[in-house]
Chains A and B, each alone.
Chain A
Amino acid sequence: MPQIAQLADTWSSQVFWLLVFFGITFFVIGKGMVPKVMDTVASRDGQIAADLAAAKAARDAADEQEEAWRVKENENRAAAQAIVAKAKEAGAKKSETKLKAAQTRIDKKLADAEARIAEARTAALAEVEAVAVEAAQDIVKTLAGVKVTKPVATKAVKEQMAHG
């Protein structure tokens, strides 16, 4: 086993060169280069975190703006609806007034017409009565030879007409 057989001859050389080369490894690579590599990693992690934070902030801002836009939109819609309702109400009122006026006119016309009809009817009835009285006088004169005076005949006709 050379490790033991050569121990006395080689241990000092082994120790010396190990210390030299491990020393170089430690001071040049471990102390000099590794921290820089780790700095790079750390700065990249920092950058990623910062980018993520910026993206989150931007998203939050966008959300906020959208919310504001939504509120404004709702307000606008409500205002528009109010205007529409007002217009509708005004229209309804106007047409109501117009309708009322038209109704009044129609009612008046109707009342006039009814009055005329009633007049005509009364006149017609009076004529019918007169005709009936004359007819009754004629009939009585012809059948009974009795001359009935006009008032009597009128009374009788009126009685009969009242009975139907």
Chain B
Amino acid sequence: MAAEQAKVDPMYQFTIQALGGSDNWELAGYNIAFTNSALWMLITTVVLFLFVLGGMKRELVPGRWQMMVESFTGFIDNMLEANIGKAGRKYVPYVFSLFMFILFANLLGLLPLGVIGVHPFTFTSHFTVTGILAIISFSIVLIVGFWRHGLHFFSLFVPHGTPLPMVPVIAPIEFISFMVRPFSLGLRLFVAMMAGHVLLEVLSSFVIDGTNAGAGFGLLVGLPSFLLMIGICALELLVAGIQAYVFALLTSLYINDAENLH
């Protein structure tokens, strides 16, 4: 009986596997195997490149594709201008790359390619990846902050109008909340993506196990689970966009702190 049971491990989808015998690739003593995660980073980069390339026709009257690319750049441009001001324009390349890279990674990871036997890998569901992106954002904040304001950047930890006796209390709190930013930034994306994929996997195991257990269970458990999966897939598409947006938005807000202090 145990042999017949479908083996659905909701966590298996996050397993990293080295591809094409690259297990032992090393660089300066560190392993740099070309894994399925790296493959999907490559796919994301290529797809994003092709997407933006379609918007490079530079026509005066844009076609649909060009319009789409321009609305994404305009969206990032507006967000940065609203949050940072005129100085925000120079961060458009970074925030655009960040937003689109995460968005495309999230969406590509949701593609139902399992149907044809290829399994998409959502590398944004790994905190090593989201953590690095968060650290890059946080480093930009630190570099810009100290570059522009020098040691005056520390006044960020004393909000405007804090009474003097409160400063020793407020400053550590502000400092801790500042230092937590990269963790919250990276973990939020990682958790949201992982939770969605686990949920879909668990529901799909209900469908498979329910149907295997007989027609009655299939109708009772499998069908509702399947309908729920359809709804959750739509929700996941939404989450994919929202998480990319939140990551870019928070990055721009943090950069605003560095550009303009409080």
Q: Which residues of A contact B (CB under 8 A)?
A: 1-3, 6-7, 9-22, 24-26, 28-31, 33-38, 40-41, 44, 47
- Which of B16, B25, B128 sits near A15, CB closer than 8 Å? B128
Cβ contact within 8 Å between B34 and A17: yes
Q: Are B32 and A31 in contact (CB under 8 A)?
A: no
Give the docked Cα–Cα distance between A140 and B48 (Å).
Answer: 159
- Which residues on A sit within 8 Å (CB–CB) of B25? 13
- Decide if A38 touches B100 in the complex (CB within 8 Å): no
The complex places the Cα of A22 from the Cα of B96 at a distance, in Å, of: 12
Which residues of chain B come closer than 8 Å to A7, judged between CB atoms?
Answer: 128
Secondary structure class of chain B's binding surface, majority of residues: helix
Instruction: Say yes or no: B128 contacts A10, CB within 8 Å.
Output: yes
Q: How many Å lie between the Cα of A38 and that of B96 in the bound state?
A: 12
The answer to whether B45 touches A21, judged by C-beta atoms less than 8 angstroms apart, is yes
- Of the candidates A2, A6, A12, A21, the one whose C-beta lies within 8 Å of that of B41 is A21
Given contacts A24-B45, A34-B93, contact A12 B30 (CB under 8 A): yes
| Given A22-B101, A29-B49; A14-B69 close (CB under 8 Å) | no
Q: Is the CB of B52 within 8 A of A26?
A: no
Q: Which of B37, B77, B100 contacts A14 (CB 8 A)?
A: B37
Which B residues contact A (CB, under 8 angstroms)?
11-12, 14-16, 18, 25, 27, 30-35, 37-38, 41-42, 44-45, 48-49, 52-53, 55-56, 58-60, 62, 66, 69-70, 73-74, 77, 92-94, 96-97, 100-101, 123, 125-129, 132-133, 136, 190, 194
> Are B93 and A12 in touch, CB under 8 angstroms?
no
Asked if residues B32 and A3 are in contact (CB atoms below 8 Å), the reply is no
Are A3 and B60 in touch, CB under 8 angstroms? no
How many Å lie between the Cα of A7 and that of B97 in the bound state? 26
For residue B33, which residues in chain A have a CB less than 8 angstroms away from its CB?
Answer: 10, 13
Interface centre among A11, A15, A17 (most CB of B within 10 A): A17
Give the chain A neighbours of B16 by CB distance below 8 A.
2, 6, 9-10, 13-14
